[in-house]
Structure 1
Amino acid sequence: MLADQLQAMKRRALDEIRGTSADVKTSLQPQDHEVQSHADEAEAERLGDVRFAEIEIDRARLLDIEQAEQRMADGRYGVCADCGDAIPRERLLAQPAAIRCAACQTAAENKLRRP
């Protein structure tokens, strides 16, 4: 069940990457028949930046999924990377690529927030 969920997430991430990549290529094509203002050019550049950011997010999600699949193959799936305890099934159902139990994830996020 969790392996199927990871596969579905992987397919969605790949589809989103392909779709966004195609959108970026289309938006970068010159439109000879249109008069472009500086505002139009700035908006096109902003949209391109947003699409590239979306691709990076999707790539990171894809990497997380592939790492979860590797942990599954190695027999390490569902074990917290920090404390070594089992990650509750409910958490894995909600976040199949989770590498930490909820307590350790909260602690890791709190460390990142501290200046």
Structure 2
Amino acid sequence: MRTNVASLIKRLLVAIVIVAAMGCSGEPLSTREKGTLIGTGVGAGTGAIVGAAVGNPLAGAAIGAGIGALGGYVVGNEMQNQENANAQTQTQIQSQQQEIQNQQQQIQQLKSQSETE
């Protein structure tokens, strides 16, 4: 049982290191990645505190990091989806505004033509 817990802790720590390394890729983090990273940190801190209370802060931190990463991903993913939807809506608004301007120009041209006739 103790070996399984140690193995789980090692896997979680490796996963955290991989996520952190991916975050250093040079490109800005997406909202989803920020949520995952923040969730991991908060989960690890909270898990370490709870783990210390029961005598095993490292296991608590590892478990908390995993749970926090999952929760952070879910929240960050929802926020990312909302941002994408907002961007798409903004693009549609701009397209419609351009179409309105084109139609207004056409109306003005038709008025000018009818006045000269």
Q: Which has the larger radius of gyration?
A: 2
Q: TM-score, normalised by structure 2?
A: 0.34
Task: Name the structure, 1 or 2, with higher relative contact order (CA <8 Å, separation 6+).
Answer: 1
Q: Which structure carries more helix by proportion? A: 2
